[in-house]
Structure 1
Amino acid sequence: MTREGSTPACPAELREGGVRLSRENRGDHASDRAARKAIAPKLGCSPDSLRVWCQQAERDAGRRGGLTRAEKDRIKELEREVRELPGPTKP
């Protein structure tokens, strides 16, 4: 589900493939940034998107601080439940 005017999320397979390619080809480039810059156009995404995907994959694997994808999904679910709660009643 996307908001009006926003771009649809990339399929999980594309993100996972991008992260894998970035890891596999890192040694062929001078830096992570250079690797992402070379790989991103082949995937049809921006180097910044690929950077975010790689960082999230590191969080999910416990190699980087921050919220995992599962934790973010749970927070969204709880926020949705709170929005759906009935409002306070007036006396």
Structure 2
Amino acid sequence: MVSSQGSGKPTARRYSSEEKVAAVRMVRTIRAELGTEHGTVQRVATQLGYGVESVRVWVKQADVDDGHVGGATTAEARRVRELE
């Protein structure tokens, strides 16, 4: 079905930091309860009406920020941007 609104392209939605934190918490809670990572991001994204890729990126960055996996933390990335 074609929508008569706009150009048909998806629009970028800005999520608040509270929404992001809540989504990450939900993913982690479900992972702990089920003991698996498979399908948890999609499940939470669908429940909240968020984009699956958005939630996946938030969880991945939260894992880096919390030291669970390697990578540039949010604070480090911000500092690099400020120095450039």
Query: Is TM more than 0.5 here?
Result: yes
Q: How many residues align?
A: 73
Q: 1:24-81 deviations in whole A, cap 9, x for unaligned? A: 112348x4241111110222311211111111111111111110000011111112xx
Aligned residue in 2 for 1:52: 57
Say whether residues 1:76 and 2:47 are aligned partners: no
Greater fraction of residues in helix: 1
CA distance in 1, matches of 2:72, 2:54: 17
The structure with the largest alpha-carbon Rg is 1
- What is the root-mean-square deviation of aligned Cα atoms in Å? 1.9
Gaps of 5+ in 1: 1-5, 80-91
- Provide the TM-score with structure 1 as the length reference: 0.69
CA distance in 2, matches of 1:59, 1:21: 17
Q: Kindly, what percent of the aligned residue pairs are identical?
A: 34
- Provide the TM-score with structure 2 as the length reference: 0.74
